[in-house]
Structure 1
């Protein structure tokens, strides 16, 4: 899969980066729910009477205090104290700065449990949603029979109605939904018509916005920023107002379901495989951001191209970034990942991160080998039994319920394909 890391921000200089971040093929980062709710602060020992004094405050003051808590603290209060659970839960899920990323093609096909790794019970509480289409990590990237994206079907009124029914069913508390158009456009292009058509079927009571990546100049490989248009309320004719030109919310990946049985083992493997791809893409984002920040805030010298045997220098970070993105299109000419910036203080962090990625790759190959060992040889009784167990779980387990018969489902077709793929051992460079 070709990663196109084209959305990157230059932040403050730091000698570390968040290795838990994931990124899509456009360089837009997101954080898994389990890390979103994990506090980065060191535990302290509060006074024994501290919390009891808090509970003696008037309810209005208790709510005011809770409003200053970060998501990790609110999540802990949701599970640690009965007295604060209800209010903490309201504040946690009502946080407008946390946007939950959802696969739009899953909703287009009805939002059935079979084709998602999400914890469906958690989706019920989410209020701020970002619906993405046609990402490489999407479980419905291609229709097995017709070999086309489900995204092409949103012109159908029936599919549009099914989409909004599924969204309302899975997210009954949603109040703000952003629909992402996956194809980027040059500056000044109109609002994407296909997504507008989908948005017009939205129910009352939900604020609807449309987002699209736009090039920063007329070159299609230039850095991109995400524009957002919001549907004007109480307007008889559909009108879309541009409200953001560099939209970059804190994107959260929903918590995963509990995996069990042979289908669960396979779905866990697929989920971890997607996570690996997102981690590898995020690695390029880290290199891009840290390098730009280093030259801008520390070295204060012209930016030098990261790619070996290049050495071109640029006075402005955005010029260097545009050159880097163009060079990335020819990354097959370069051996290996994007090198870290020329600063010893950050190289150790990248070296450790690269070792963790290499270990992750080996683990995914080991997992696939274990699944294939259970699958057995062609024509064997072991394979016949494994197939029956897999199909039986698809038939009986509500966690993997679907619209079509198990034998006709995409998950069964994908499972058979993966079980018959030769496992290739990592190359020496991957075992660093």
Structure 2
């Protein structure tokens, strides 16, 4: 129901707004795993900014560092100029993330968002190989700008481009055929067949867990086979870790479980730590063929985000404590969702680490569950091509008690929906 407090949104803001339609209130403050509306009602956040807030709302460690930086008149905007904040971030990223994993990547700051990182990855792959075609996968989501949309599967989002999205070809994601077809049978066949009409691809872009596509999890062995296929056919492998990176699946990078080293990796969302916009494109040094300024952007050097990102890396990634806690909490979520799937027909569960999904054979039921959960003070969104999956992305720093509280709300909402 429209109120005085929300009327300005409905009268002035574009009809393109989406999340606010599912959560009809006006939020004012957030702390940890909780968000509060202007009436004072609290909601447990199992959405976390679609994966931006892995460390929760207004994380106190990062807030302190950010306030100090602003108070000291630290550089807030510097394009790609060298700054102390950028240097400290790069040193921390190398020390805490790259060196312990023996990863030799160059770091590019392509712009503030995930789609900026994807666009730069696609451009670089085409520049390096001299080819145009990119392979993507069914139900993929990589962003809303034209290049990113071209490798996105969702038909509604693709239609919004208003022009043909070309030079890309979708292939079946892991288990797309329900396990009845040999992995990469079609993909490798058309690569080897001179009559298939498939141009030699520059690269393959993949999510190890498709978040927006319905929490579809690629098996480690599937990812290893994909990496091997790319190597044998001289294609670059791009892993889009925008939503699943920064510890969402347990390890810092979601591809670590497969033991592969992608040629290019995209990061955004939680890399800024505090919810501040930041994106990285990582690539092997031999691929760094950019000329100065060949790919740029006004907001590619967000110095306040460098400060909070450095604090997050130093505080949470200097050891494996957060990774182990994330894996343990993920198993707790899986236990509850599996019990629901066992108790009710037409329900299944999927996911890895602290990205989990409860899938419904009847899509409207997922929407109903999220609506009932909101009424009881829990934020959760749907995903999948028909919004058939309740997707859970709680902050990695959520307490066990808060996690259990949210899961109990979800279980009750599911029981009420399916009773």
Q: Given the two structures, how large is their TM-score scaled by the length of structure 2?
A: 0.27
Higher gyration radius (CA):
1
Give the TM-score, by structure 1 length: 0.26
